[in-house]
Structures are given as C-alpha cells and as structure tokens.
Amino acid sequence: MSEANNGAAGIGAADIAGADAADETVIRIEDLRKTFGDNEVLRGIDLDVRRGEVVVILGPSGSGKSTLLRCVNLLEKPTGGRIFFEDTEITAKKTDINKVRAKVGMVFQNFNLFPHLTAKKNVMLAQQKVLHRNKEEAARIAEEQLEKVGLGERIDYRPSELSGGQQQRVAIARALAMDPHVMLFDEATSALDPELVRDVLSVMKELARGGMTMIVVTHEMGFARDVADRVIFMDGGHIVEQGTPEEVFDHPTSDRTKDFLGHIS
C-alpha cells in the first residue's frame, strides 16, 4: 500500500517518520548469503524495498524466509553480501545493532513477551532501555500504542491473561512504540487459533494503509492479495519469482511457484 491513506486508519502515516518520501529505497539487500554449517540457506538474495511498500514473502518451509528477516534485523550475521537501511550499511562492522533494531521493528510467531510483566510494562521496557525514554513518556506512549491495537482496556493484564491474538497485538504495540521506520512480520499469525487471526491481520492492514514499510512472511494468501504491493516467492534460498499479487497468484511463471500455490490452495 504505497499510497498513504491519511486519516482512514487509526495508525496514520503521521506516526511514521519520513512516510511522505515516496519511491525512496529504505532497505537494499545485495547478494545476501547465509550458511549454517553446510546448509546454504540464503544463496544470493537481491531485494530493494521502497518507503511505504508492503512486501509479502511466500515460500515452502525451510526456504529461508525467516533467516532473511533475521538478517535484516541483525539477529543473524550474514555470511556474505550487504544490507543497507536508509543511508547506512548495517552489515558494516561499526554498525550500532541497537539503533538498527529500534528502527526495524520485528514481530515473531511466538510473541516473546515477558510473562511476569503487564502489557503496558512489556511495551515500556525497550523504550526505556534502548531509547532511554523516561518512565512517564514510555508509559504514555505504551498506553497510546496499546489503545491503537485495540487493547486500551487491557494495559494492566499479564500475557497469561490475554488471548494469543491479544498477546500478538501487545508485541506489535511494543515494536511500534520504538517509532520504527520498517516493520518485519515473521509468521505473526501462524501460532494463533483461526478466530484470533483476523484481529491481528486487521491491525497489520491498518498499519499498511497508514504508510508503514513492511516485509511480511505469511501463509495468509488473502492478506497477501489484499495488502501486498509486491509478492515474492522464495525457494531453496533464492527469490524464484516476484510481482504484484495478481501476477504471482494469477499468472505465476515458474513451475515451483505454481506447485507451491497449487499445494497450499
């Protein structure tokens, strides 16, 4: 959703730094390679993501989707290639990892919330530790973000008192509280009961409409069709095919993409 739709969504483009700079490349990935032992998981990925673009990555299990996102967030160290975020090469030795992570929000399949902390405290923690916001400011922003993901009434609940979908929305609020320029979603709805998936997808849709730059690994084909500006099909550590949702879903050119789409539909 490259065209920011101000006002229509609760989470607006005004929340996102630089959202007006259309056509600007935010992430540039050049010949990215990652090997675990003998296992060559990423075999030369080239990918540019523009400001406000929503890129959905599809592919079979083990194709390297998570590893790609984890390299962009510096959770994994690439074996080769380079990644640029805005005007900085983040794979360079001198990169301040915490600064990159604050700007590149990531949401995982399993929420990763602290079980002993309330939703509000979970959203406050990284703001205080990484951004050095004072307690009052962190609390105000936590309440604001939890409100935006529909959890204004539940800020004092602990994760065990929340449904999986609510916990995932806390995790999204936690990432948004850091004022990210990009959001990465790694199968954010895969661990949820089907009836809870919709609420999380609708928060993600709203973010996309607000102009957030997003890379989304998902098996939710409806979401990909509705929201993606670009769909990428990965297999065996390569980008096999990419295009608009219509191109990839309705007119795939590679037999591997056809097989995969046939397999999951």
Q: Which residues bind ligand ATP (CB under 6 A)?
A: 36, 39, 41, 59, 61-67
Question: In the bound complex, what is the minimum distance in angstroms from residue 110's beta carbon to ligand ATP?
Answer: 12
Which residue's CB is nearer to ligand ATP, number 41 or number 171? 41
**Are the CB atoms for 68 and 81 separated by under 8 Å?**
no
Which residue's CB is nearer to ligand ATP, number 61 or number 160? 61
Question: In the bound complex, what is the minimum distance in angstroms from residue 235's beta carbon to ligand ATP?
Answer: 9
Question: In the bound complex, what is the minimum distance in angstroms from residue 12's beta carbon to ligand ATP?
Answer: 31
For residues 74 and 10, give the distance between their C-alpha atoms in angstroms, rounded to a whole number.
30
Which residue's CB is nearer to ligand ATP, number 150 or number 236? 236
* DSSP β-ladder status, 230-235 and 54-58: parallel
Question: In the bound complex, what is the minimum distance in angstroms from residue 214's beta carbon to ligand ATP?
Answer: 17
Which residue's CB is nearer to ligand ATP, number 10 or number 236? 236
Which residue's CB is nearer to ligand ATP, number 198 or number 219? 219
Q: Smallest Cα–Cα separation from 2: which of 52, 56, 59?
A: 52
Question: In the bound complex, what is the minimum distance in angstroms from residue 131's beta carbon to ligand ATP?
Answer: 28
Please state, in angstroms and as integers, the Cα–Cα distance from residue 64 to each residue in 34, 36, 38, 126, 161, following that order.
9, 11, 14, 28, 34
For residues 74 and 102, give the distance between their C-alpha atoms in angstroms, rounded to a whole number.
11
For residues 231 and 250, give the distance between their C-alpha atoms in angstroms, rounded to a whole number.
12
